[in-house]
Chain A
Amino acid sequence: MDLYLQVLAGGVLNGVVYALIAIGLTIIFGVMRLVNFAHGEMVVIGMYIGYWCFELIGISPLAAMPVAALALFALGYVLQLTVVNAFISRPHHVQFILFISFALVITGLHMMLFGPTPRGIFSMASFETFDIGPLRLDMTRVQAAAGAIVLMALLFVFLRFTTTGQAIRAAADSRIGAEVIGIRINRVFAITAGIGMACAGAAGALVAPMFDTHPFLAPEFTLLAFIVVIIGGLGSIPGAIAGGILIGIVEALAAVMINPSMKSMFSYALLVLVLLVRPAGLFGAAGGRR
């Protein structure tokens, strides 16, 4: 029983980390209907920032989170204004190839700059745990979960109470309507892309101590993020959290009960089911857009 409790707790914590990785993707899709297939690469950039902040200045991943977020915001903003905006109304496969080209360029740059060797952060925090009753939770995941919660709160406040946030929500609801009432859509999209990628970067900095950073981690993160946001409901931030936690728990239970090397199969099976039966996501509003 203790094993199951422990595994469930671990699954929930992992799930929050997964949600953190996925939030950026859901924002970009929710507003612009863009499938960012380079999302994982953005996370890896954040991981490298987290790693180098630790290596060079010795600041913890939590402290590196704003640095990574700012850097990735700038990248997302500039990319959106210079290139991606022109692709907003293009067919999906063209957008897909555009993002694949981003992914290739970023992966190549990572290889050229930092080499292929996995870079781990060696700090005692990577090994620390604390106990709550019979449960043992590890520090890095709790930190990441805390970071994720802070990030989501900030996002919520921003989207709800600022003019720009309202403009973003308006653009998500109806692009044409937003343009009619005088919202400068290209700038709104650039800010949205910046925010989405800042989330990816922040997530990267937070998970750097968990997954040792190397250039080829990205596709895993991209696929994971897709599973999480589809199951939670595309475009829904609470949905991403719920989807992440659900996947975390499903993988943990599958690993305990069946076979660890098959645990991801259950995520994909769940994804297929959700796509077929409830494409709006388990937690999204009913009648999701197709």
Chain B
Amino acid sequence: MTRTLPLAASAAALLVFGFAPLALSPYWLSLLTIIFFYVCVGQAWNLMMGYTGILSLGNSLFLGLGGYVTAVLASRYGVVPWIGLPLGALVGAAMGVVIAWLGFRFSVRGVYFALLTIAFAEFFRLLFDNWDYVGGAGGVFLPSLGPDESILLHLRGSGLLFYYAFLVLAAAVTAISALLVNGRHGFFWRAIREDEEAARALGVRARSMKILVVAISGAMTAVAGGLFGLMNGSLFPDSMLGMGMSIEIIIAPIIGGLGTLVGPIVGAFFVVPVTEIANDVGQHVGIFGLNTFVYGVMVFLVIVFLPEGIWPRLRRLATRRQRPDETDGGSDA
């Protein structure tokens, strides 16, 4: 793969999505907005799992923290999101550092680390449920804008605003991820993923590199969470910090293809429409629960028949057509 092709494809995609609102109704824009949201959180999770091999099942914690920092500052003190979102990212990163440092200091690995992240996320969900300062279980409601307040300043407004906000964020997160994984960091992270002992022997400072990736992932997820809260207009511990959200975050990148930059994007573009179609089918047949069932079957089929994800398979088909000789699957386009 050449370097120019991904760049050209990205530019074309940005151009298409940038002008999409001219041709699409609010409903399609909303769906795309949710897809972009899952691209953001999926890329962030992919940095941890796909590139470094750190399994987190509690990323909703970063999402919720980012959302709450932004929303509480805005609703209590009138702090604009332009300050709230970076602060949320800092809090997300700090939480990432804390969990990663604790986990790796005590060499908690694999499934055990995953359970550690779940425990942290659930702990904070319950904490927020009982913490009146952040509204407890009653949630936080974002004040609506007066007629003379700037939409851009407060980031509270129409679906179109959030469409562009999430488009920009998804592009930014993807670009940052690309720079990181194609640079020195990516090299170290992959080395850790393949064989941490060997990487250490070669002088990779494995622990700090792992803490770094969790912090970056936490910061990215937190920013997405901040925007997500602003878009919904209200936040509740259950919907922001719950286990359900953690699962939603990881399904798209795994189905799309881990350890690639395109995977989380493909996954989000697959999963969101599939849930929508499943919802539609359930609605029209009039059987409740059919949507959950259909979604489950779709996920099952993908994981059984494309265990490494959709994108790697697509890419292999494409390269086979170009060159009959086997290419190595290591390029990270």
Contacts and interface: CB of A to CB of B under 8 A. Distances in A.
In the complex they form, whether A and B have CB atoms below 8 Å apart is answered with yes
Interface of A: 33, 35, 83, 86, 90, 92-94, 96-98, 100-112, 115-116, 215, 219, 223, 226-227, 230, 259, 261-262, 264-265, 268-269, 271-272, 275-277, 279, 290
Contacts of B293: 104-105, 108-109, 111-112
A268 B126 contact: yes
Q: Tell me what chain B mostly uses at the interface: helix, strand, loop, or mixed.
A: helix
Contacts, number: 134
Given A98-B304, A100-B247, 7 more contacts: A94-B307, A97-B250, A105-B300, A108-B296, A115-B288, A265-B130, A268-B119
A111 B288 contact: yes
B126 A275 contact: no
Contact of B122 (A96, A104, A116, A268): A268
Interface string B295-312: 111011001100100000
B106 A276 contact: yes
B303 A98 contact: yes
Interface residues of B, number: 48
A290 B304 contact: no
Interface of B: 49, 55, 57, 102-103, 106-112, 114-116, 118-120, 122-123, 126-127, 129-130, 243-244, 247, 250-251, 254-255, 258, 287-297, 299-300, 303-304, 307
A108 B112 contact: no
Contacts of A110: 289
B119 A111 contact: no
Q: Tell me what chain A mostly uses at the interface: helix, strand, loop, or mixed.
A: helix
B289 A96 contact: no
Nearest to A90: B307
A108 B290 contact: yes
Given A92-B110, A230-B115, A261 B303 contact: no
Contacts of B112: 230, 275, 279, 290
B299 A97 contact: yes
Contact of A226 (B115, B130, B287, B307): B115
